[in-house]
Structure 1
């Protein structure tokens, strides 16, 4: 039997047109708000730019191949999360969110959904495996969590929710579909802020959802259409371009992250290190079982706010910034935002594609300045 290509290899041409002599490997962005439309509208593939267009279709088909479910793209990860939380709930429903996950998702729910009779509950990611999902209608959870990289068993959570008719959505931003196959593990929806690793060049804000459930997909697609939360063709094309290098970028980033986590874990000036790839980490056993990659994010704690600030200022190869998943290594003192219940000296470090020896030397030298 012929060899079946891995997901990593499939990223190179995912969503590209079939080869045809004299044509490009991939078409450029389609800049059109209006399409020729005569006769019955139901027979036309493209009608109006807010409904759909060829550049969207190409990327959605490409990501669908990798996610294992129909895909809808959005102009940001937050709009992807909003599509899940807005289109799939009704007054009286209860949403479950992580108390230690991405804070703007909690804020959106508290400010814009609770007022319409939706209830919100939160749970720490480390407590999800023992959580009683009774009365939960939809859960949008992260594993590994951001920024402290706690994990939970996706399959077990899905089983509990499904027994009572609930929906499980997984925010897969910290790993992407190459690092964790959320739908294959039982989640109803896989969501990702493609701003991060999928695009990976710190120049586009983007997001997507994927699902094998046609009814859920139709509701979220309609929400995009009627709310106007649509991506631009140039941004869509840029993300599709970046998709081709995702596998090779993640390989360098994750390999670098493991080397750096091991070095940090034995450093005298580092109080604690969180990285799911370390056998000593609380997330290791779950990560080893359900993740295909350990990821590119490390969180570690220095003695104080001042120590963390000195470290960041002393780094030469590492940019101080709040995003993650790019080819550039970035880091920040995460408590400066005031949205995470973490120590002042905690640094979230997104490991990039620099040469491993150069990155290690830079970080070790910066620690000497602390």
Structure 2
């Protein structure tokens, strides 16, 4: 079945006999038992809810996994994932991570006994150089946030398997429409469903999608025990968002390419980080392992004054901390997504006072370019 058809129809399981086209919102915390020792299949919404089940079955199909778990946020999903590991375990992660993941690792997970090495996972040899006896997993973002580095997932998977490590891939930026990490050898895929899957900047969600039933069983136990599950109404909002995922991603990508090319030619822009540009150092890897480039762009202006002016003057584009929705958003990583990372570490990665991140939405690309053009102009 074509991906766009799966987005619309998802799970083919029916939950009522009314003929409702939209899956019902089962706004119930608990479910009655038909009798002693009997169950309808639903007991308590922390364990499972029919609306969330429909969403999870859809997400699993889209990623090609055996199971998916929907959480109350992307960070809730990653926090639950960390419970797979024990004190003393070591995890190798991309050194250009979303700031929330970095904050979780070094303020919560490390306190609980886990250890981390952050490396440039675009270089597979650097990953291998950091493997030690207590290493249990490789955690990669691709493209990374916000510098848009790309990791060769198949190569990382071969390395992980040779050392009996889990390969975990955050697929938020490209979604299963453009990239399928499980098919390339990953064990677990993460999503902030708040972003492209939901697509409308109106709810929070997170996902873990797994490649085998053993991981599913372990994570389902953690899931029901911690209880960070996605509520029925929020599940319905993400179901609705996924229905248009394919058409949104294609339109957003087309616009992003036009804007990235325009930015490349602007005199006040010193660097453009968009994986769809042939000048991007990981362009060939992206072409080989995915079917698209997405709509996330980071760019460096000529000065801090220019960056601040752009953020202050955009009008159609909104200065806000998120991505993946129908509205185009611009973010200042050093003050927003990566504010908790030490300055020296942040700037060493290129996340400085001149760097801006753009999530291209569904507005006319010509209108977006005009808005950027006037925002760059000095008064």
Q: TM-score range by the shorter chain?
A: over 0.9
How far did residue 130 of structure 1 move? 4.0
Structure 2 counterpart of 1:196:
195
Distance 1:109-1:79 versus aligned 2 partners, 3 A rule: same
1:80-119 equivalent positions in 2, closer than 5 A? 80-86=77-83, 88-119=84-115
Query: How far apart are the structure 2 equivalents of 1:39 and 1:96?
Result: 49
Bigger shift: 238-247 or 31-40?
Answer: 31-40
Structure 1 counterpart of 2:248:
249
Unaligned runs of 5+ in 2: none
Please say if 1:134 is aligned against 2:143. no
Query: How far apart are the structure 2 equivalents of 1:140 and 1:39?
Result: 45
* Superposed CA offset, 1:331-369 (max 9, x none): 022222433431211110000000122122222232233
Structure 1 counterpart of 2:23:
27
* Superposed CA offset, 1:39-92 (max 9, x none): 454754111121111011111111111111111110000011112111x21222
Kept in 2: contact 1:100–1:124 (CA 8 A): yes
Please say if 1:233 is aligned against 2:246. no
Query: How far apart are the structure 1 equivalents of 2:21 and 2:59?
Result: 17
Could you say what secondary structure the match of 1:145 adopts?
Answer: coil
How far did residue 163 of structure 1 move? 1.0
Query: How far apart are the structure 1 equivalents of 2:103 and 2:85?
Result: 17
Bigger shift: 143-152 or 112-121?
Answer: 112-121
* Superposed CA offset, 1:262-320 (max 9, x none): 11111111100010110011121111111211011100011222211111222221000
Unaligned runs of 5+ in 1: none
Structure 1 counterpart of 2:378:
369
Structure 2 counterpart of 1:79:
76
1:174-193 equivalent positions in 2, closer than 5 A? 174-193=173-192
Structure 2 counterpart of 1:350:
359
Structure 2 counterpart of 1:267:
266
- The partner residue of 1:122 within 85, 97, 118 is 118
Query: How far apart are the structure 2 equivalents of 1:326 and 1:125?
Result: 28
Structure 1 counterpart of 2:61:
65
Please say if 1:360 is aligned against 2:356. no
How far did residue 126 of structure 1 move? 3.6
Structure 1 counterpart of 2:32:
36
Q: TM-score scaled by structure 2?
A: 0.91
Query: How far apart are the structure 1 equivalents of 2:56 and 2:119?
Result: 32
Structure 1 counterpart of 2:43:
47
Structure 1 counterpart of 2:212:
213
Bigger shift: 354-363 or 151-160?
Answer: 354-363
Distance 1:22-1:108 versus aligned 2 partners, 3 A rule: closer
Task: Note the aligned Cα RMSD (angstroms).
Answer: 1.9
Query: How far apart are the structure 1 equivalents of 2:22 and 2:102?
Result: 38
Could you say what secondary structure the match of 2:281 adopts?
Answer: coil
Kept in 2: contact 1:9–1:247 (CA 8 A): no
Query: How far apart are the structure 2 equivalents of 1:112 and 1:130?
Result: 25
Please say if 1:309 is aligned against 2:318. no
Could you say what secondary structure the match of 1:168 adopts?
Answer: strand
* Superposed CA offset, 1:214-272 (max 9, x none): 11111111111011111111101110011101111111111100010011111111100
Structure 2 counterpart of 1:145:
144
Q: How many residues align?
A: 365
Query: How far apart are the structure 1 equivalents of 2:354 and 2:161?
Result: 40
Distance 1:41-1:275 versus aligned 2 partners, 3 A rule: farther
